[in-house]
Structure 1
Amino acid sequence: MSGAGELRRLRDVVAGDMAGADVAHDLGHLDRVAGLSARLAVREGLDGFVAAVAAYVHDHHRAAEARLGRVVAPAEVRDDARDALRRGGVAEQLWDPVLDAVEATGRYSFSAAVSAPTADRIAACLHDADMLDAMGATGIARAFAYGGAIGEPLWDPDAGVATGGYRSGPTGSVVAHFHEKLLRLRGELRTAAGREMGERRHAALEEFLRRFREEWVDAHGDSDGAPPGV
Structure 2
Amino acid sequence: MTGSGSAGALRRLRDVVAADIAGADVAHDLGHLDRVAGLAGRLAVREGADGFVAAVAAYVHDHHRAAEARLGRVVAPAECRDTARDALRRAGIEPALWDPVLDAVEATGRYSFAADPGSGPGGGATGRAALIAACLHDADMLDAMGATGIARAFAYGGAIGEPLWDPAAPPVEGYRSGPTGSVVAHFHEKLLRLRGELATAAGRELGERRHAALEEFLRRFRDEWLETHDDPATAPPAP
- Report the TM-score, using the length of structure 2 for normalisation: 0.94
Q: Secondary structure at the match of 1:90?
A: coil
Q: Which runs of 5+ in 1 are unaligned?
A: none
Which residue is 2:180 aligned to? 171
Q: Secondary structure at the match of 1:217?
A: helix
What are the Cα deviations for residues 94-114 of structure 1, in whole angstroms up to 9, with x where unaligned? 111100000011011111112
The whole-number CA distance in structure 2 between the counterparts of 1:176 and 1:20 is 26
The code of the aligned residue for 1:35 comes to G
Which residue is 2:208 aligned to? 199
What are the Cα deviations for residues 104-151 of structure 1, in whole angstroms up to 9, with x where unaligned? 110111111122232610000000000000000000000000000000
Note if 1:36 corresponds to 2:39.
yes
Which residue is 1:142 aligned to? 152
Which residue is 2:222 aligned to? 213
Superposed displacement of residue 223, structure 1: 1.3
Question: For residues 45-64 of structure 1, what are the structure 2 equivalents within 5 Å?
Answer: 45-64=48-67
Question: For residues 88-127 of structure 1, what are the structure 2 equivalents within 5 Å?
Answer: 88-117=91-120, 118=122, 120-127=130-137
The code of the aligned residue for 2:77 comes to P
The whole-number CA distance in structure 2 between the counterparts of 1:112 and 1:84 is 31
Runs of 4+ in 1 over 2 A off after TM superposition: none
The whole-number CA distance in structure 1 between the counterparts of 2:35 and 2:84 is 19
Which residue is 2:14 aligned to? 11
The code of the aligned residue for 1:162 comes to V
The whole-number CA distance in structure 2 between the counterparts of 1:59 and 1:89 is 19
- Report the TM-score, using the length of structure 1 for normalisation: 0.98
Residue from 213, 216, 237 that aligns with 1:228: 237
Superposed displacement of residue 162, structure 1: 1.2
Which residue is 1:68 aligned to? 71
Q: Cα RMSD (Å) of the superposition?
A: 0.9
The whole-number CA distance in structure 2 between the counterparts of 1:6 and 1:57 is 13
Q: Secondary structure at the match of 1:64?
A: helix
Q: Secondary structure at the match of 2:169?
A: coil
Superposed displacement of residue 16, structure 1: 0.4
Q: Secondary structure at the match of 2:233?
A: coil
The whole-number CA distance in structure 2 between the counterparts of 1:160 and 1:182 is 15
The code of the aligned residue for 1:158 comes to A
Superposed displacement of residue 224, structure 1: 2.2
Superposed displacement of residue 221, structure 1: 1.8
Residue from 169, 194, 197 that aligns with 1:185: 194
What are the Cα deviations for residues 29-52 of structure 1, in whole angstroms up to 9, with x where unaligned? 000000000000000111100000
The whole-number CA distance in structure 2 between the counterparts of 1:168 and 1:222 is 31
* Aligned sequence identity (%): 81
